[in-house]
Amino acid sequence: MTAAVIQMVFALLAVILIIYGMSYYMKKRGKQGGFLTMKEYLPLGPKRGIAMVKAGADLLILSVTQNDIRLLKTIKESSPDVQDFKGRLDTEVKSLQVQDTASAGTGR
């Protein structure tokens, strides 16, 4: 009887170690990222923004709203456009904010 109990305890420990090992492996694998990876996100207001998502060797520029996601542009990751995209995007957003402020002041 004690041999059966010892065998059962070792079997239970083996199952627990296998489950722990699999969960550790899955967590490590999940952190590496898969096919899709979020690179940048620029919020433009409540529930609105522009996202840069890496999909394989391409970068997708997406417009994200509460009800819709639209592809704005696809860029090859090796393209020089990728390097200064964030700077250009910041400049464009600032100019749009200035235009919004100017039009709000004129009452349009």
Q: Is the pLDDT of residue 42 over 60?
A: yes
Mean of the per-residue pLDDT values for the chain? Answer: 80
- Global pTM value: 0.47
Residue 68 — pLDDT band, cuts 50, 70, 90? very high
Contacts of 10 (CB under 8 A, 6+ apart): none
- In the predicted model, what is the mean pLDDT of residues 71-76? 87
The per-residue DSSP string of 44-63 comes to: EETTEEEEEEEETTEEEEEE
Which residue matches tokens 């898969």? 34
Which residue matches tokens 């997708």? 60
Residue 55 is classified by DSSP as: E
- In the predicted model, what is the mean pLDDT of residues 77-85? 63
